[in-house]
Amino acid sequence: MSMLDLLTNQNETMMPDEYKHRSYEEMKKRVIEIKQAFGEKLFIPGHHYQKDEVIQFADATGDSLQLAQMAADNHKAEYIVFCGVHFMAETADMLSKKNQHVLLPDMRAGCSMADMANMKQTDRAWEKLTDLFGDTILPLTYVNSTAAIKAFVGKHGGATVTSSNAKNVLKWALTQKERILFLPDQHLGRNTAFDLGIPLEQMAVWDQIEEKLITDQPLHNIKMILWKGHCSVHEKFTIKNIEEMRKRDRDIQILVHPECTHEVVRASDLAGSTKFIIDTIEQAPPGSKWAIGTEMNLVKRIIDQHPDKQIESLNPDMCPCLTMNRIDLPHLLWSLESIEKGKPVGLIQVEEEITKEALHALNRMLTIR
């Protein structure tokens, strides 16, 4: 939703002030009441980066892949109140049934990485890249992208990926075409391709602002074309952070999300999705020491849940993902009360034509897994 849409639909998108004045206990009580009254007709999925005040009410939590699977598998809920960011709610809307309604408690909960690839840029890129490479490119998009980008990818035979299945999907993609255009996260694209044995020299970067391909290699060498997008939260973890940690404590293990830069992922001990990070710490022996490079709400929760292990953030000055944090208890309650009143706010409704094409990309991913 653009800023203009937000301003013209303020009643729809801005939470009334009264919610700011309700007490925490009162809001908690109301959420519990509404959840009980709706039972299975209401489903609240929550991404691992959500705040504790919200995640305590989630019916299920997960990484992006798990949340997409839940939306596809849940046929009972009439209302899915999605505690995550806009692209996740769009994915849930496209994968759920027609009679199910997906709500995002705060329409401002976007993802700055998803905003780094728009349709105008993508059409221009495709035109220029197919001029250079002919019909040899398959597009893949990280799920952290708009529904329109997913539709573009679906239309051209490609698939979506998440951080937990990127390797499998890329392996499949390389059997379909000679080279891949990977949107919008250059770091996940580079890290995944490198893991599959593609050398950095065979990867070029597409600069969507300058509209040019950045490479010093002959074109026939290029296997991966990486969109110049990134996550501003994960780019804050640096090699310096890792060096300082290791200097301070030789036994500490570094565990990061693959949205971190290639240098950081290579210098770490392990990298994987939010689910992988949670599982790794759960299985780690008591007394083990970890520095984690991902969003702060999740790192804090992991620290609280594992007092027997020494866990800290890889970057001590880290702040949370600001857009994920837009969803707070007042917004969750506002969303639930709007359903109770029969006037749901924050409905996510992806256009039918876009849904049809995007589902090709999503379903390819869900069958590859």
Does residue 274 bind ligand 13P (CB under 6 A)?
A: yes
Name the strands in the sheet holding 347-348, side by side, starting at the edge strand that comes first in the sequence.
Answer: 42-43, 79-81, 101-103, 347-348
Residues 140, 169: contact at Cβ < 8 Å? yes
User: Considering beta carbons, is residue 88 or 204 the nearer one to ligand 13P?
Assistant: 88
User: Considering beta carbons, is residue 31 or 233 the nearer one to ligand SF4?
Assistant: 233
User: Considering beta carbons, is residue 146 or 163 the nearer one to ligand 13P?
Assistant: 163
Q: Which of ligand SF4, ligand 13P, none does residue 273 bind (CB under 5 to 8 Å by kind)?
A: ligand 13P
Q: How far is the CB of 214 from ligand SF4 (least distance, A)?
A: 22
CA distance 271 to 292: 10
User: Considering beta carbons, is residue 295 or 328 the nearer one to ligand SF4?
Assistant: 295
Query: How many other CB atoms are found less than 10 A from the CB of residue 218?
Result: 7
Question: Using the rule CB under 6 A, which residue among 273, 313, 335, 355 binds ligand 13P?
Answer: 273
- Strand 224-227, strand 203-207: pairing: parallel
Does residue 63 bind ligand 13P (CB under 6 A)?
A: yes
How many positions of this chain bind ligand 13P (CB under 6 A)?
11
User: Considering beta carbons, is residue 168 or 310 the nearer one to ligand 13P?
Assistant: 168
Q: Which of ligand SF4, ligand 13P, none does residue 163 bind (CB under 5 to 8 Å by kind)?
A: ligand 13P
Q: How far is the CB of 187 from ligand SF4 (least distance, A)?
A: 10
Does residue 144 bind ligand 13P (CB under 6 A)?
A: yes
Does residue 145 bind ligand 13P (CB under 6 A)?
A: no
Q: What share of the chain is helix, strand, coil (3-state, %, to 5)?
A: 50, 15, 35
Q: Which of ligand 13P, ligand SF4, none does residue 112 bind (CB under 5 to 8 Å by kind)?
A: ligand SF4
User: What does the CA dihedral 233, 236, 242, 248 come to, rounded to 10 degrees?
Assistant: -100
Q: How many CA atoms lie within 13 A of 367 on its CB side?
A: 8
User: Considering beta carbons, is residue 318 or 358 the nearer one to ligand SF4?
Assistant: 318
For residue 328, what are the CA distances in angstroms to 118, 163, 298, 320? 28, 25, 15, 13
User: Considering beta carbons, is residue 50 or 268 the nearer one to ligand SF4?
Assistant: 50
CA distance 69 to 179: 28
Q: What is the DSSP code string of 202-264?
A: GEEEEETTTTEEE-SS-GGG--EEEESB--TTGGG--HHHHHHHHHH-TT-EEEE-TTS-HHH
Q: How far is the CB of 64 from ligand 13P (least distance, A)?
A: 3
Q: Which of ligand SF4, ligand 13P, none does residue 106 bind (CB under 5 to 8 Å by kind)?
A: none
User: Considering beta carbons, is residue 112 or 168 the nearer one to ligand SF4?
Assistant: 112
- Strand 270-271, strand 212-214: pairing: unpaired
Q: Which of residues 147-166 bind ligand 13P (CB under 6 A)?
A: 162-163
Does residue 231 bind ligand 13P (CB under 6 A)?
A: yes
CA distance 291 to 310: 9
Environment class of 309 (CB within 10 Å of its CB; exposed 0-12, middle 13-18, buried 19+): middle
Which residues contact ligand SF4 (rule: CB under 6 A)? 85, 111-113, 144, 231, 233, 259, 295, 321, 323-324
SS (H, E, C) 288-327: CEEEEECCHHHHHHHHHHCCCCEEEECCCCCCCCCCHHHC
The amino acid occupying position 346 is: G
Query: How many other CB atoms are found less than 10 A from the CB of residue 119?
Result: 13
Question: Using the rule CB under 6 A, which residue among 64, 186, 268, 323 binds ligand 13P?
Answer: 64
Q: Which of ligand 13P, ligand SF4, none does residue 86 bind (CB under 5 to 8 Å by kind)?
A: none
Q: How far is the CB of 179 from ligand SF4 (least distance, A)?
A: 25
Q: Which residues bind ligand 13P (CB under 6 A)?
A: 48, 63-64, 144, 162-163, 231, 257, 259, 273-274
